[in-house]
Structure 1
Amino acid sequence: MSRIRTVLGDVEPEWLGVCDAHDHLFFASPRLPGQELNSVSAARAELTAFRDQGGGGVVQWTPYGLGRRAADLPALSRDTGVHVVAATGLHQDVHYAENVLEELRGRLDEVFVAELTDGIGTSGVRAGLIKVAGGFHALDQHARWTMTAAAEAHHATGAPIAVHLELGTGAADVLDLLCGELGVPPHRVILGHLNRFPDPVAHLQAARSGCWLAFDGPSRAHHATDWRMPDAVTALAEAGFGDRLLLGGDTTTAAARSVDGGPGMPYLLRRVRPRLAAVLGEEVVTRVLTDNPAHAFAVDWR
């Protein structure tokens, strides 16, 4: 039976409710000094604000080594009543010190499987997805290493693989590797950040593969393509791919949180949802925010 693996345990897919399919409660990278998401109280306030807009679930894509604070996630979920899904996986190599990556050589897939089945560190919190990343219009050696490990972990557990597309590019290469060479079923792959590269042909090609298409990032002020997102989502829905779409906020800096004056998680429901409903209709948008993530993150766990 398919279940969604949350930080409080496996739940029925329909329990997820209205879902922010890609966001971060905690995140820390040397590439974003001074903007770490590391405050428990701020995370609680952000989840509460999201819940007050009708939100029911948040999928945190923060992977290994980037400040996930897995041990803090169960209490936040219980306190706010919002389901939270945690991630294993590995980001681009620029986010890590070389010694961290060297320690993972030869056992990366084992780390992913352990965090999916046994728990992250000593927290007991099991991850519910694997997050990896591509490069700009290409896949370097690091991306191929991490995606190969992710595919092996998928085959061992059934977990979905969520992919950071650098500036929204490289979707075809990612699908060729994961679904072609490595045998991951397309419906277990989630492509993130497609809004950053609003190429309708690339979007349609990806949709035809059967993978999930995530449009995420309204919390990131420097993404000048956000205004094209409604047109891209509308085009895909009108082409018959409304059942493959996901929406997320991708809050990665403290300044982007609503509690610190940014749009944050609630913006997805406060502004993005009605904007899309105006062109797609409420029924389609409800499906994108509820039915689609319930299917995308539900797994027959092995």
Structure 2
Amino acid sequence: MTGRSAASGVGRGGSTGIRRIRTVLGDIEPAELGVCDAHDHLFIRTPKLPGQELDDAEAARAELVSFARAGGRAVVQWTPWGMGRRRAELPGLSRDTGVHLVAATGLHQAAHYDPAELSTVCGDLAELFVRELTEPPVRAGMIKAAGDFHHAGEHSRHVLAAAADAHRATGAPIGVHLEAGTAAGDVLAVLCDEHNMPPESVILGHLHRFPDTRIHREVAAAGAYVQFDGPSRVHHATDWRLLDSIAALVDAGHADRILLGADTVTPSMRATGAGPGMPFLVGGLRARITRELGDDVATAVFVANPARAFAAEWR
């Protein structure tokens, strides 16, 4: 297998041998994470959704309070660099609501950025990612990258390579946006075959938007985490397959690879809008998973799996 070495410009620190989750208030033991929304957004802006920005701190606080009242304990915000993530405000929201927050560094598809803005960082992405993962006051706890529709294009491969470099330097997990749930195998091959990423440090997002259970089983068997989102009005076309997709992985012996997130990307998707938002994930959907698939599966999806997926031996 081929891979980029740490000599590509990013230094390598020594591993501690102790796995912790990096939140915006500091590192915590995996057992402290609790019931987790493994993929969501408190703040986000993109030219692909003009006028639908998540940029209201009070609305974000209200969503977190509702999430906590429903039994939620942690949220992983996948909003990466340059998309209005308002990183400096996350510690205050975490303290005010008692919800653990994990922030992201990384880069989305080029279409989510102004070209001039994007050109300022593309030359030294790995260094940017490492800096945001390791330097206070607010450190990211994961790296966000993205694939393209049924393939990994030039920009995607550039970001994935930088993310792999940053992983080697820090230990941080990598979460990948899969466009319409496609190209899971291609993305995993780029990270693991070309760049020697351990698959257990890779989270493949949005797979229930492409409900091919064969592909889900293949990437889970390879060791990557399979992340489903929903339900929501935006992705309702495949919401009805969510439980079937989870059940297929459980039946194949991969209950330990499943993650679930609400992926709220517009104000209307919040509980204060048309919903159902973060609270439904743990207050409604978790109950259904428990009823239909058992408490052990629900605990794996919402507690045990995210505690492993987002933990790292930080360097």
TM-score by length of structure 2 reads 0.93
Aligned residue among 251, 256, 259 for 2:272: 259
1:7 and 1:159, CA in 2 relative to 1: closer, same or farther beyond 3 A?
A: same
Residues 211, 245 of structure 2: 8 Å contact kept: yes
Residues of 1 paired with 2:129 and 2:194: CA distance? 20
1:250 counterpart residue number: 263
Q: What do you get for the CA RMSD once the two structures are aligned?
A: 0.9
Q: Deviations over 1:218-258 (max 9, x none)?
A: 23434300110100100101110001110100000011110
2:307 counterpart letter in structure 1: A
Task: Please state how far the C-alpha of 1:270 moved relative to its aligned partner.
Answer: 2.1
2:5 counterpart residue number: none
Residues 220, 250 of structure 1: 8 Å contact kept: no
1:189 counterpart letter in structure 2: V
Task: Please state how far the C-alpha of 1:283 moved relative to its aligned partner.
Answer: 1.8
SS in 2 for 1:261: coil
1:151 aligns with 2:168: no
Aligned residue among 29, 33, 52 for 2:69: 52
Gaps spanning 5+ residues in structure 2: where? 1-17
Residues 234, 279 of structure 1: 8 Å contact kept: no
2:211 counterpart residue number: 198
Residues of 1 paired with 2:70 and 2:123: CA distance? 44
Identity %: 59
1:103 aligns with 2:120: yes
Question: Within 5 Å, which residues of 2 pair with 1:105-124?
Answer: 105-119=122-136, 124=137
Runs of 4+ aligned residues of structure 1 deviating over 2 Å after TM superposition are 219-223
2:221 counterpart residue number: 208
- Deviates most, 229-238 or 219-228: 219-228
Task: Please state how far the C-alpha of 1:115 moved relative to its aligned partner.
Answer: 0.2
Residues of 1 paired with 2:29 and 2:232: CA distance? 29
Task: Please state how far the C-alpha of 1:272 moved relative to its aligned partner.
Answer: 1.2
Question: Within 5 Å, which residues of 2 pair with 1:23-38?
Answer: 23-38=40-55
Q: Deviations over 1:15-57 (max 9, x none)?
A: 1100000000001111111111000000000000000010000
Question: Within 5 Å, which residues of 2 pair with 1:206-285?
Answer: 206-285=219-298
May I ask how many residue pairs the two structures share in their alignment?
298
1:76 counterpart letter in structure 2: L
1:33 counterpart letter in structure 2: P
Q: Deviations over 1:157-189 (max 9, x none)?
A: 000000000000000000110011001100000
1:142 aligns with 2:155: yes
Residues of 1 paired with 2:101 and 2:233: CA distance? 21
1:81 aligns with 2:98: yes
1:224 counterpart letter in structure 2: A
1:67 counterpart residue number: 84
Gaps spanning 5+ residues in structure 1: where? none
Task: Please state how far the C-alpha of 1:104 moved relative to its aligned partner.
Answer: 1.2
Q: Deviations over 1:104-136 (max 9, x none)?
A: 1321110000000014xxxx2100000010000
Residues of 1 paired with 2:233 and 2:101: CA distance? 21
Residues 196, 223 of structure 1: 8 Å contact kept: no
Q: Deviations over 1:169-220 (max 9, x none)?
A: 0000001100110011000000000110000111111111101010113234
Residues of 2 paired with 1:169 and 1:77: CA distance? 33
Residues 232, 239 of structure 2: 8 Å contact kept: no
- Deviates most, 79-88 or 98-107: 98-107
2:183 counterpart residue number: 170
2:15 counterpart residue number: none
2:12 counterpart residue number: none
Task: Please state how far the C-alpha of 1:260 moved relative to its aligned partner.
Answer: 2.2
Task: Please state how far the C-alpha of 1:287 moved relative to its aligned partner.
Answer: 1.6
Residues of 1 paired with 2:304 and 2:235: CA distance? 30
2:3 counterpart residue number: none
- Deviates most, 110-119 or 274-283: 274-283
TM-score by length of structure 1 reads 0.97
Residues 21, 310 of structure 2: 8 Å contact kept: yes
